[in-house]
Amino acid sequence: MSALYTRTLTQLAEGLRRRSFSSVELVGELLARIEKNQPLLNAFISVTAEEALAAARAADRTLAAGGGGALTGVPIAHKDIFCTEGVRTTCGSRMLDNFVSPYNATVVAKLKSAGAVVLGKTNMDEFAMGSSNETSFYGPVRNPWNPQLVPGGSSGGSAAAVAARLVPGATATDTGGSIRQPAALCGITGMKPTYGRVSRYGMVAFASSLDQGGTLTATAADAALMLREMAGFDPRDSTSVERPVPDYVAALAEPIAGLRVGVLAEFFDQGLDPENERCVREALKVLEGHGAKVTQASLPNLPLSVPVYYVVAPAECSSNLARYDGVRFGHRCEKPRDLNDMYRRSRGEGFGAEVKRRIMTGTYVLSAGYYDAYYLKAQRVRALINADFARAFNGVDVLVGPTTPTPAFPIGAKTSDPITMYLNDIYTIGANLAGLPAISVPCGFVQGLPVGLQIVGPHFSEARVLATAHAFQCATDWHTRIPVGYA
């Protein structure tokens, strides 16, 4: 049996259930691909080959006995932001280089109980702060479509691994676009659920009112399958929502005829690459061709979403990252003179440049005399943006537009100017501020590089967002393209 790696997560789960191949065969094939491609792509921080093979053997025994869950024997990878018991969890930072998690994140535990086999932990921007995967302590990840280019971030390792078919699905997190933007830049499907849908327990905190776990997979059907197993109420996350999880896989069959699709005027601004726009406009025609009713929609305050984000996210980050003090876990400097020296040097050495920038921005906007002008003001504008979305969803079922302004850019091109880098997330941040579910699906290519179509829905409309994406993928084949050299 060869070339299992080209199959989707859904096909692999089915093949394993039918016992057309074994989990050990599949895991072995993918581990070999990971090993071969790691020197170039750098998509992984840790590869847990032995544990994976042991779990695959156990999965094969379960399947042979006629048992198993939805993902028994299916290989996945976790973004290195999810705590995995007994396995190093670094969050892409020197600060946590030596941190071996004593417990599993809820997402990790749920996927494990569904039978998934973990191949390793993927590379990411440090503490998920970045849009290019260049801020990782473990070095940049390269885009499988062109190794000179970034894969996007912060879930760049998960995205590159799925795009290069090193693994059929990976977990990821999205605070301002960190699932959808790398999905767009790597030509795969990235799903960010409603805030509170997936537990944040054991997911290293960056900006707690924005962080949400989700999936990177080849297809929307795969995302539905993975998300169904990951989502759900968790008493250990105080903002987890007590609400039953629909069967996202069953809901994929929902037709899109009659679906009211709003095209976001603000997403077609001067920053949008004309070729990206062409791909997105053609995608709209596809949806229309399948009976969707496309209308114009507008969110007048959306252009302020990036400024809101760069107050709110750093503020929450400065508070969350205060826990890294060199006392209980994480990096501690050598020979501290006193407690304060230990805090300052441990943090100065343990955090990278972008993380320090955000901690300081957050410290400033929360400091006495500036709190009202920056933080409270941003929270008020956030309310305006949220109200814009609520109004728009009175008239439409989903909102669509591009995921990113441009395709993938060269490594190093935007590292010297933080604001240019921040503007990569101009179309994705709104969904985080309002806590909405959103997906990015491949919708074309510009000079050989993938372009993403973003579909945003009202709170808890994951089923409809996934079904819309699935209908689009049934009508197109962009999501089946594999980068040259990995096919």
Partner 1 sequence: MALTREQIASIATLARLDLTSSEIPVYQESLSAILEFVGALERADTSNVTPMAHPLPGLTQRLRPDVITEGDGHERYQLNAPQTAAGLYLVPKVIE
Comparison of 384 and 413: residue with beta carbon closer to partner 1: 384
Of the candidate residues 114, 249, 311, 398, the single one contacting partner 1 (CB under 8 A): 311
Our answer to whether residue 79 is catalytic in this structure is yes
How many residues touch partner 1 under the rule CB under 8 A: the total is 73
Site pattern 363..382 for partner 1 (x: CB under 8 A): xxx-x------x-xxxxxxx
Give 235: exposed, middle or buried? Use CB within 10 Å, 0-12, 13-18, 19+: exposed
Residue 344 Cβ, how far from partner 1 at the closest point, in Å?
4
Our answer to whether residue 178 is catalytic in this structure is yes
Told to check if 345 binds partner 1 by CB under 8 A, we report: yes
Q: In what order do the strands lie in the sheet with 212-217?
A: 44-47, 117-122, 75-79, 169-174, 212-217, 189-192, 438-446, 449-456, 398-402, 260-264, 293-297
Told to check if 318 binds partner 1 by CB under 8 A, we report: yes
Told to check if 100 binds partner 1 by CB under 8 A, we report: yes
Told to check if 412 binds partner 1 by CB under 8 A, we report: no
Told to check if 337 binds partner 1 by CB under 8 A, we report: yes
Told to check if 206 binds partner 1 by CB under 8 A, we report: no
Structure tokens at 133: 């995967």
Comparison of 146 and 209: residue with beta carbon closer to partner 1: 209
Told to check if 99 binds partner 1 by CB under 8 A, we report: yes
Residue 340 Cβ, how far from partner 1 at the closest point, in Å?
7
Name the active-site residue from 23, 131, 136, 154: 154
Of the candidate residues 18, 419, 447, 477, the single one contacting partner 1 (CB under 8 A): 419
Q: Which residues ranging from 120 to 149 are in contact with partner 1 (CB under 8 A)? A: none
Q: Which residues ranging from 242 to 261 are in contact with partner 1 (CB under 8 A)? A: 242
Of the candidate residues 291, 348, 412, 448, the single one contacting partner 1 (CB under 8 A): 348
Comparison of 29 and 97: residue with beta carbon closer to partner 1: 97
Comparison of 101 and 454: residue with beta carbon closer to partner 1: 101
Told to check if 391 binds partner 1 by CB under 8 A, we report: no
Of the candidate residues 94, 281, 290, 332, the single one contacting partner 1 (CB under 8 A): 332
Structure tokens at 148: 């000179």
Residue 357 Cβ, how far from partner 1 at the closest point, in Å?
6
Give 335: exposed, middle or buried? Use CB within 10 Å, 0-12, 13-18, 19+: exposed
Our answer to whether residue 154 is catalytic in this structure is yes
Name the active-site residue from 178, 199, 346, 440: 178
Question: In whole angstroms, how far apart are CA 117 and each of 71, 75, 187?
Answer: 8, 5, 24
Q: Which residues ranging from 168 to 197 are in contact with partner 1 (CB under 8 A)? A: 194-196
Distance of CA 450 to the CA centre of its chain: 17
